[in-house]
């Protein structure tokens, strides 16, 4: 997955997958990881370190970083969105649950600002 994200970052314009989650990561019979579903991807040029998020409210909330949920002003994102998402996927692989909003609906995560209010990760024992 890190190679896939590095590849997306080397493209011109750079690509943010924006929907990195276990369902979009496939493993073929040769053990090769494939990243799928680029339906929400964002493109940004090399001279911009961040871009305006024009489609707030889309994506899979458990895997999105706080900047995707900004309420005051326009959210600004970068390719770090995918790095955050990969961290969430890794946490879920290791502990069998999501670090933020586990067992909550997307509606609850949005309405209660779960991602924005989260200040630390609690690791299961």
The residue that leads in pLDDT, 99 or 45, is 99
Give the domain ranges of the chain: 2-117
Q: Answer yes or no: is pLDDT of 6 > 90.
A: yes
Strand partners, 76: 52
Q: pLDDT, tens digit, for every residue of 88-100? A: 999 999 999 999 9
pLDDT at residue 55, rounded to an integer? 57
Residues carrying an active site annotation: 19
The residue that leads in pLDDT, 21 or 125, is 21
Q: Answer yes or no: is pLDDT of 45 > 80.
A: no
Strand partners, 33: 27
CA dihedral 59, 60, 65, 68 (to 10 degrees): 30
pLDDT at residue 51, rounded to an integer? 67
Q: What share of the chain is helix, strand, coil (3-state, %, to 5)?
A: 35, 15, 50
Q: Would you put residue 44 in left (φ > 0), alpha (ψ -120 to 50) or beta?
A: beta
State which CATH number among 3.30.1330.100, 1.10.510.10, 3.40.50.720, 1.10.1060.10 fits the domain covering 2-117. Answer: 1.10.510.10
């Amino acid at each position: 997955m890190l190679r896939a994200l590095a590849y997306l970052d080397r493209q011109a314009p750079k690509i943010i997958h924006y929907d990195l989650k276990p369902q979009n990561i496939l493993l073929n019979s040769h053990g090769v990881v494939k990243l799928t579903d680029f339906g929400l991807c964002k493109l940004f040029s090399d001279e911009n370190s961040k871009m305006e998020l024009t489609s707030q409210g889309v994506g899979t909330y458990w895997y999105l970083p706080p900047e995707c949920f900004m309420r005051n002003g326009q959210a600004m994102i970068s390719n770090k969105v995918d790095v955050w998402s990969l961290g969430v996927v890794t946490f879920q692989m290791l502990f069998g649950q999501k670090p933020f909003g586990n067992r909550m609906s997307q509606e609850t995560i949005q309405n209660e600002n779960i991602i924005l209010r989260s200040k630390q990760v609690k690791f299961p024992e």
